[in-house]
Amino acid sequence: MRPAANPLHPSGDPPLRGGQDLETAYAKINLALHVRGRRADGYHDLETLFAFVDAGDTLTAREADTFSLTVTGPFAGDLANEPDNLVLRAARLMARHNGITTGLAFTLDKHLPIASGIGGGSADAAAALRLADRIWGPDRVTVRMFDYCADLGADVPACCVSRTRFGSGVGDRLVDCDIPGLVGAPVLLVNPLVACPTGPVFRQWDGIDRGPLDPAQWGDARNDLEPPAIALVPAIGEVLAALRQTGARLTRMSGSGATCFALYDHAPARDRAARAIAADHPQWWTMSGALR
């Protein structure tokens, strides 16, 4: 592994017409997550392998006198009472670090469930940073996002890159991690749409350090937060059990839940699994894609 590179715009999303620009806020999954210990500051030392799906929320923006945010999409209502959304916090943070006094008008098309272990808010913040960086340009943005993006949350640095990375510390210390055959792997995400707050899950962790994470052996690794999350939200166990019946080569919970994922050998197997899950559990959220 080597220190992570800092590509500012991993999406390749094209500019839109009408003075707007677009970024995809890619869904994050933790292929493995080992909790190594509790810290005095209340956080946890962990080791994780981040990967990203080629789908997620969509964020557009155009230059404006002030900052504003319009939220659309199936999960827009979950952000209705959140006046200081991470998108706005991210853009204002970049403006403050670079002495920029104008704003941006954002529209967020929200397709990822809120607080679901797939970095929705962090991915949105990272997309906002990439958008702001591109719109304002190198003449105005001289202090780079990687100097301060961790202030927005531990997952934001990984989401800024949106490629496979090994993370340690609280997940913010990143190194490149090349895993043959991972890019393009078909993946299915499933969430029972039951709230699974991060704090209680971490507090329920049993405190046992079960050893380090070897990225080369990620398939045989684990998510140490699965047992406490299932104890708090039994529906997570139901999702994992359903996914294991679909012929997946790997099933696991992402982050602190409640989203779980399954990797498949080929796209038709993933698509059959998605149809079966939707038919048997129409109340669950699903998203199909491939790893980037």
Residue 44 neighbours by CB under 8 Å, 6+ apart: 35, 36, 37, 38, 170, 202, 205
Choice among 18-22, 136-140, 213-217, 228-232 with the minimum mean pLDDT: 18-22
Residue 126 pLDDT exceeds 50: yes
Read off the pLDDT of residues 254-265 as tens digits, 9 standing for 90 and up: 999 999 999 999
Residue 37 pLDDT exceeds 60: yes
Per cent of the chain over pLDDT 90 is 90
Residue 281 pLDDT exceeds 80: yes
Residue 2 pLDDT exceeds 90: no
Alpha carbons 54 and 186: distance in angstroms, whole number: 10
Specify the DSSP element, H or E, that contains 3: strand 2-3
Mean pLDDT calculated for residue range 199-218: 96
155 belongs to the catalytic site = yes
Q: Which amino acid is at 16?
A: L
Specify the DSSP element, H or E, that contains 20: none
pLDDT value at position 4?
Answer: 52
> Greater confidence, 7 or 188?
188
Specify the residue for token string 């607080």: 115
Residue 152 neighbours by CB under 8 Å, 6+ apart: 86, 89, 90, 93, 122, 125
Alpha carbons 70 and 109: distance in angstroms, whole number: 9
Residue 16 pLDDT exceeds 50: no
Please pick, among 28, 57, 109, 133, the residue that the annotation labels catalytic.
Answer: 28
Read off the pLDDT of residues 101-123 as tens digits, 9 standing for 90 and up: 999 999 999 999 999 999 999 99
Please pick, among 124, 133, 155, 224, the residue that the annotation labels catalytic.
Answer: 155
- Answer whether the bond into residue 278 is a cis peptide, omega within 30°: no
The helix/strand/coil state of 49 is strand
pLDDT value at position 18?
Answer: 46
Residue 40 pLDDT exceeds 50: yes
Residue 13 pLDDT exceeds 70: no
pLDDT value at position 246?
Answer: 98
Tokens standing for residue 89: 């916090």
Task: Spell out the domains of the chain, with CATH numbers in brackets.
Answer: 2-176 (3.30.230.10), 186-290 (3.30.70.890)
Tokens standing for residue 230: 């299932």
Read off the pLDDT of residues 63-84 as tens digits, 9 standing for 90 and up: 999 999 999 999 999 998 776 7
Read off the pLDDT of residues 43-63 as tens digits, 9 standing for 90 and up: 999 999 999 999 999 999 999
pLDDT value at position 81?
Answer: 76
pLDDT interval class at 7 (50, 70, 90): very low
Q: 84-105: buried (b, 16+ CB within 10 Å) or exposed (e) per residue?
A: ebbbbbbbbbbbebbebeebbb
28 belongs to the catalytic site = yes
